[in-house]
Amino acid sequence: MSNNMRLTLKIWRQGGKYKGEFVTYKLDNVNEHMSFLEMLDVLNEQLIANREEPVAFEHDCREGICGTCSLVIDGRAHGPMKGTTTCQLHMRHYKDGETIVIEPFRAKAFPVIRDLVVDRSSFDRIIQSGGYVNVNTGQAQDANAIPIEKDQAGEAFDAAACIGCGACVAACPNASAMLFTSAKVSHLALLPQGMVERKKRVLEMVAQMDKEGFGKCSNVTACEAECPKEISVGNIARLNREYIAASLASETTN
């Protein structure tokens, strides 16, 4: 292990003077304890010192929970480590002299804003279309009024753990948002509080997802492999069941 690794970075630059191209940078003195984003901070400090435009990339919590960081690293959304966001990736997993290719999350529904930053507000609009329980402040009954079986609550939690990062979309050859959408559908459908509106919810969320221009799911399951929160493709199966049941129900009532 070394404290002064030298790395070559090939970074996608788009906006300002860049039309959309890879630019190569050399970086010395990379410490193995640095996080991947701290390594990019060092690069940016270097660029600023040379009065060049720093590389734009998004990040906030830097502890794997806000879903802001993105980056496709050497072809993999959030980099090589399983169950790890880009911000949690550390340089100890790289070797001196390596070349690293860094790109944004690419998808039609995630237009590039600049360099490595993309617009993921399509995810917000999917939630706005129905990813909630219709309950006003003050309408709730006592929290312990409805017991929920521990495992069932745990399963709902597993789905609710999605951080809305969009890696599933970036990893999918069709740029489908099924894993994200199904995680929300499952989270709420698994709880008694969310069950009441489960039919309407799944229909509306799927409709919005299609409208945003996400692709169709063809069961490649690359999404599950790259999801930093290890959201299961079992949720997609559940969404499909919910969707079919809801479509049938709406046909009979129409």
Partner 1 sequence: MAKAIALDTKLDSKIPPGEMSEKWTKYKGSVPLVAPHNKRRIDVIIVGTGLAGASAAASLGELGYNVKAFTFHDSPRRAHSIAAQGGINAAKNYRNDGDSVYRLFYDTIKGGDYRARESNVHRLAEVSTAIIDQCVAQGVPFARDYGGLLDNRSFGGTQVSRTFYARGQTGQQLLIGAYQALSRQVHLGTVKLYNRHEMLDVVVVDGKCRGIIARNLLTGEIERHSAHAVVLCTGGYGNVFYLSTNAMMCNTTAAWRAHRRGAFFGNPCYTQIHPTCIPVSGDYQSKLTLMSESLRNDGRCWVPKKAEDCNKHPRDIPEEARDYYLERRYPAFGNLVPRDIASRAAKQVCDEGRGVGTTKLAVYLDFADAIKRFGRDTIEARYGNLFEMYEKITGENPYEMPMRIYPAVHYTMGGLWVDYELMTSVPGLYAAGEANFSDHGANRLGASALMQGLADGYFVLPYTIGSYLSKEISTGAISPNTEAFEAAENDVKERLNKLLNIGGKQSVESFHRRLGKIMWDKCGMARNAEGLKQAIQEIRDLRKEFWSDVFVPGTNNEYNPELEKAWRVADFIELGELMCFDALNREESCGGHFREEFQTEDGEAQRDDENMKFVAAWEFKGDGAEPELHKEPLEYEVVKVSQRSYK
The correct pick among 68, 122, 182, 208 for binding ligand FES (CB under 6 A) is: 68
Residues 137-196 contacting ligand SF4, CB under 6 A: 162-168, 179-180, 183
Q: Which partner from the list ligand FES, ligand SF4, partner 1, none does 69 bind, CB cut-off 5 to 8 Å by kind?
A: ligand FES
Residues 144, 221: Cα–Cα separation, whole Å: 37
Bridge partners of 90?
A: 35
**Long-range pairs for 230-233 at CB < 8 Å and ≥24 separation?**
230/82, 230/83, 231/158, 231/159, 231/161, 231/162, 231/168, 231/179, 231/183, 232/158, 233/179
224 sits in which H/E element:
helix 222-226
Q: Which partner from the list ligand FES, partner 1, ligand SF4, none does 84 bind, CB cut-off 5 to 8 Å by kind?
A: partner 1
Bridge partners of 72?
A: 77, 103
The correct pick among 23, 48, 61, 248 for binding ligand FES (CB under 6 A) is: 61
Residue 118 binds ligand SF4, judged by CB under 6 A: no
Task: Measure CA 88 to chain center.
Answer: 14
Alpha-carbon distances of 21 from 15, 103, 104, 115, 194, rounded to whole Å: 10, 10, 12, 9, 46
Least spacing, CB of residue 168 vs ligand SF4, in Å: 3
Q: Which partner from the list ligand SF4, partner 1, ligand FES, none does 137 bind, CB cut-off 5 to 8 Å by kind?
A: partner 1
Q: Which partner from the list ligand FES, partner 1, ligand SF4, none does 245 bind, CB cut-off 5 to 8 Å by kind?
A: none
Residue 148 binds ligand FES, judged by CB under 6 A: no
Residue 96 binds ligand FES, judged by CB under 6 A: no
